[in-house]
Amino acid sequence: MGRAVSALLRKELRLELRTPQVIPAMALFGVTTLVIFHFSLQRDTVEGDLAAGVLVVTLLFAAMLGINRLFVADHEEGGFDGFLLAPVDRTAMLVAKALALTGFLVVVELLLVPAFGFLLLGPAMTFELLWKVAAILLLADAGVAIVGTLVGALAIQTRARDLIVPLIGLPLLVPVVIGAAKALAPALDAAGAGALPGRWLAILGLYDLVFGLVAYAVFDFLLED
Amino acid sequence: MYGSRLQTLAIASVVTLAGGFALAAFYAPMDADQGFMQKIFYLHVPLAIVALGGFVFGAYQAVQHLRTGDPSRDLKSYVAIHMSLILGIGALVTGSIWARASWGKWWVWDEPTLVAFLIIFLLYCTYQPLRFSIEDRDRQARYASVFAVTAGVFTPLNFLAVRLADPLIHPRTLDSQDNLPGEMRLAFLVCLLGMALLYVTLWKFELTHKHARAQLRSLKRKLGAADAARGRSAAPEATVS
């Protein structure tokens, strides 16, 4: 299992390194969304719950792009067939894809959070604020990656793939949005960063756990052919 | 064999629902604040609870379908979700009317129960488009079941997430004792039972209908008639025994 996961993960990273496709698209889309927010909200700076909402929505929409592309290469170039022929546990695919998507999201956030800090955020980016944001976003990324892998695998075999991903993915990710936005709001407050709200972090963690188990239980059925 | 207990069930649900509404109208006391408008409670809350229960029931059938591969389970899951969606529309509409009457607005965003229900409803609205966009029948059934299981787990989790956000106005129906006086509670429980019976009746009715149609089609085929052209459908096909 461990070797299969690491092989799949290496394949995923090599693919992205040789022809960078997903990460630049996600990052570019995210920055453009921030600009769109600047004009549509008609605000030069945001703080508190508005800042949390802008950041979470931007990251979520950027993640949708990544989820849409997650299985395209496997579907079109025969990656699924190769994987199904190999005598390995099928859960390896779920774990590898979820880890790859988490990695993509983290890289995109490393670019987008500073960009958000320069372009829109009112309070200054301090080290203390950054580690809080990082902790919350990591928990949210895990949830987005698990659900995204599940929805991406579900949608890849349908005719209306690009439509199905946001239609199913966005409602499923609403608890992540609620949890991340509520947790981020005090951290990004103008009146000085508040403490991390433990309750919302616990909800994010619970969501990750439950959907991790669900994905583990049902993912095999999406690969059977 | 599918329609065997349908008549009994139909009569039972009509009697229970009518009795429940009669109890609600004449036996349960008038609400001190809201007056007659509060009576919509006996329709709205059972609709919502039964719709949510139906989603979870659909998820249960989907689990059985994935475990056994029995296509009739997929049909049962499909019909359960289909019926719940219809009741869900009813719950949203009645809830909106009630909100207008008692809170003065058609829709209230800071109320987690409403929002949670809407999110779940929107999620299940994608069930049929998902089925429709997969052509291969086996794969369609399997993927739909995976979706039904995921969404079935999501239903209670979503409610938990939004309930932890402080509830403001929407009353909790079942967990607080002093919320409902005895007469109201009795009328409410009868209404809830009636609605659940109605759901089961509709569910069985739809299943019977689908089986009858599949049987008719196979008889026509045996008689040598050209297979009638069918439009594309998201519904799973019933198997003829």
Which pLDDT value is given to residue B180? 66
Specify the 3-state DSSP secondary structure of A121: strand
Q: Do B129 and A160 touch (CB under 8 A)?
A: yes
Domain that holds residue B102: 16-28+37-167+181-222
User: Best residue in B114, B122, B143 to probe A by mutation, most A CBs within 10 Å?
Assistant: B143
Do residues A191 and A129 lie in contact, with contact meaning Cβ atoms separated by under 8 Å? no
CB pair distance less than 8 Å for A211 and B161: no
Q: Establish if B49 belongs to a structural domain.
A: yes
Mean pLDDT of all residues belonging to chain B: 82
The pLDDT tens digits for A48-80 are 889 999 999 999 999 999 999 898 888 888 888
Could you state, in order of their start, the residue ranges of all structural domains in chain A?
Answer: 2-223
Please report the pLDDT score of residue A60 as a whole number.
94
Q: Kindly report the nearest CA distance between residue B89 and chain A, in angstroms.
A: 17
Query: Is B8 a domain residue?
Result: no
Q: How far apart are CA A11 and CA B1, in angstroms?
A: 55
Q: What is the pLDDT of residues A12-26, one digit of tens each?
A: 889 888 988 899 999
d(CA A7, CA A113): 30
For residue B2, tell me if it sits in a domain: no
The 3-state DSSP class for residue A216 equals helix
Phi, psi of B35 (to 5 degrees): 65, -140
pLDDT in tens, B101-140: 877 888 877 667 778 888 899 999 999 888 888 888 888 8
Cβ atoms of B48 and B93 within 8 Å: the answer is no
Q: Is-contact B51 B124, C-beta < 8 A?
A: no
Residue B236, domain member (yes or no): no
Indicate whether this complex's ipTM tops 0.90: no
pLDDT digits 0-9 by tens, B65-105: 999 988 889 999 999 999 999 999 999 898 888 888 877 88
Give residues with Cβ within 8 angstroms of A9, minimum separation 6.
A96, A99, A100
Structure tokens at B71: 């296509």
Count of A–B CB contacts within 8 Å?
Answer: 80
Q: How far is A34 from chain B (nearest CA, A)?
A: 25
Q: How many distinct structural domains can be found in chain B? A: 1
The residues of B whose Cβ lies within 8 A of any Cβ of A are 66, 119-120, 122-123, 126, 129-130, 133-135, 139, 142-143, 145-147, 149-151, 153-154, 157-158, 160-162, 164-165
Is residue B174 in a domain?
Answer: no
Whether B143 and A157 lie within 8 Å, measured CB to CB? yes
**Cβ of A206 and B157 within 8 Å?**
yes
Q: Could B123 and A175 be called an inter-chain contact, meaning their C-beta atoms sit closer than 8 Å?
A: no
Compute the half-sphere exposure of residue A43: CA atoms within 13 Å on the CB side of its CA. Answer: 12
Determine whether the interchain pair A164/B149 forms a contact, defined as Cβ–Cβ distance below 8 Å: no
Asked, for residue B58, whether it belongs to a domain, the answer is yes
**Rg of chain A (C-alpha set):** 18
pLDDT at B99: 82
Which DSSP string do the residues of B21-71 spell out, in sequence order?
Answer: HHIIIIISPPBTTTBGGGGGHHHHHHHHHHHHHHHHHHHHHHHHHHHH--H
Token couple for A84: 């199904």
Residue B172 lies in a domain: no
pLDDT score, position A64: 93
Tell me the residue type at B54. Answer: G
In a domain? residue B238: no
- pLDDT value at residue A194: 67
Average pLDDT, 10 consecutive residues per value, chain A (225 residues): 88 88 92 92 86 92 92 86 86 92 94 89 81 90 94 88 89 90 84 74 90 91 80
Q: What is the mean pLDDT of residues B211-221?
A: 86
Cβ <8 Å between B149 and A214: yes
Question: Counting Cβ atoms within 10 Å, is residue B42 exposed (0-12), middle (13-18) or buried (19+)?
Answer: buried
CB atoms within 10 A of CB B30: 10
pLDDT at position B1: 53
